[in-house]
Amino acid sequence: MKVVGLTTSTADRKRRAGQRLVIGLAGASISEEERAFIREVRPGGFILFGRNVEDAAQVRELNRELRSCLPEELPPIRTVDQEGGRVQRVKAPATLWPPMRHLGNIADRELTRQVGAALGREVRACGFDLDFAPVADVDSNPKNPVIGDRAFSAKPRDTAHHVASFIDGMQGEGCIACAKHFPGHGDTTVDSHLDLPVVEKDPPDLDQVELPPFAAAVRARVGTVMTAHVVYPGWDEHRPATMSARIVRGQLRDRLRYDGVVFSDDMEMKAVRGRYPLDMQLREATAASVDVFLMCKELQLAHEAWELLVRMQEDDKAHEDAAIDSVKRWNLLRERFFIDASPQPGLDVLGCPDHQLLAARIRAQGGQS
């Protein structure tokens, strides 16, 4: 694969800035405004939600069209949140998987690997390259409004085992996994979609509870990691993890030795949107070694972010160097999963008898609280 975007011309700065954005669409097809944006910005990828889904065949065709909108040397990474349970964007005929807590209750790592593999097959059949799963948060706070049964367990060690098994299964099917939300969203009492959570824990507690599942994900060679818009004063009193070099670079890159792609959580969430200026968000997250920014709905905001990412490279050599590093990691991810990729599964894998039996078994055995 030809590696592009590593020189210093204005065109390459624009290309690098575009590669660092994954954008959402408004509906079930690509609007003319979105086509114009894609032609100009050439984003690194796309994320689809329930508003983009009519049925599985339409999603597969939409993803095919999205890939055709960009040059062959810059294939987009097409992403989705398909966790199972309450976070599942493509519904029937796709298998309706129970929450991952069911797998934690059963405590069979091979079963978890099988679910990761089955989810990976179905996600790829719909035309996606990456699934924002598994949740690697430890559900350690019963008052948590957003994680709950999305997590495998309330125990760090058990969560870590299941996270690793799920990643092994999913990536074994050629679907890129994403461990989220680093360094852990499980002990919050606030939903970061609505406000800025703060986790008041000392570093030893964070080490023992939050980090083990992400360490397991790194050992399992997870393709990507997503940050949390959460403040951890024990590590950084002033910035949420997404914007914190002490957390992303210090804990994830240096301490856990993770060298892959780091996504931000959606930059439109109220934990960060309007709380910090956009240029500050992008600058500090880049300094923290966040590679790719999710802009899930507002095209105007994504365009503003693109322009800022171009300008920051022009104004700051350190920012440009960081952008070059991010594009290198993005290209390495493409090479790892796109070169010699297995054939895309057919739509008949969605809700197939084997997957339905697997889901039914998990509901029957893992439904206890």
| SS3 call for 204 | helix
Tens of pLDDT, residue by residue over 13-52, are 999 999 999 999 999 999 999 999 999 999 999 999 999 9
Residue 142 has a CB neighbour count (10 Å cut-off) of 8
Residues 88-98, mean pLDDT to the nearest whole number? 94
For the chain, which residues make up each domain, given as ranges? 17-93+122-147+173-346
Tens of pLDDT, residue by residue over 316-362, are 999 999 999 999 999 999 999 999 999 999 999 999 999 999 999 99
Asked, as a colleague might, if the bond just before 181 is cis with ω within 30 of 0, I would say yes
Instruction: Give pLDDT, residue 2.
Output: 42
DSSP 15-44: HHHHHTEEEE-SSSS--HHHHHHHHHH--S
Contact between residue 164 and residue 219 where contact means Cβ atoms under 8 Å apart: yes
State yes or no: is 265 an active-site residue.
yes
Residues 306-323, mean pLDDT to the nearest whole number? 96
State yes or no: is 193 an active-site residue.
yes
Residue 299 has pLDDT above 50, yes or no: yes
Residue 317 has a CB neighbour count (10 Å cut-off) of 10
**CA–CA dist 214, 227 (Å, integer):** 11
Residues 75-80, mean pLDDT to the nearest whole number? 97
| Closest C-alpha to 351, from 16, 125, 35 | 125
Instruction: Give pLDDT, residue 1.
Output: 43
| Closest C-alpha to 136, from 245, 234, 223, 215 | 215
| SS3 call for 310 | helix
- The model's confidence at residue 4, banded by pLDDT at 50, 70 and 90, is very low
Contact between residue 228 and residue 240 where contact means Cβ atoms under 8 Å apart: yes
Instruction: Give pLDDT, residue 257.
Output: 98
Beta bridge partners of 108: none
Instruction: Give pLDDT, residue 5.
Output: 42
Tens of pLDDT, residue by residue over 240-292, are 999 999 999 999 999 999 999 999 999 998 878 888 999 999 999 999 999 99
Q: Which member of 187, 265, 266, 291 is catalytic? A: 265
Instruction: Give pLDDT, residue 7.
Output: 53
Torsion from C-alpha of 240, 242, 248, 249, nearest 10 degrees: -100
Residues 6+ apart with CB under 8 A from 220: 163, 164, 167, 168, 171
Instruction: Give pLDDT, residue 24.
Output: 97
Residue 3 has pLDDT above 60, yes or no: no
Contact between residue 138 and residue 186 where contact means Cβ atoms under 8 Å apart: yes
**CA–CA dist 276, 263 (Å, integer):** 18
Instruction: Give pLDDT, residue 368.
Output: 66
Tens of pLDDT, residue by residue over 95-132, are 999 999 999 999 999 999 999 999 999 999 999 999 99
Residues 296-322, mean pLDDT to the nearest whole number? 96
pTM for the structure as a whole: 0.95
Residues 6+ apart with CB under 8 A from 340: none
Tens of pLDDT, residue by residue over 206-229, are 999 999 999 999 999 999 999 999
Q: Residue 336: is it exposed, middle or buried by C-beta count within 10 angstroms (0-12/13-18/19+)?
A: middle
Tens of pLDDT, residue by residue over 156-185, are 999 999 999 999 999 999 999 999 999 998
**CA–CA dist 141, 152 (Å, integer):** 13
CATH superfamily entry for domain 17-93+122-147+173-346: Glycoside hydrolase, family 3, N-terminal domain (3.20.20.300)
Q: Which member of 193, 207, 279, 325 is catalytic? A: 193
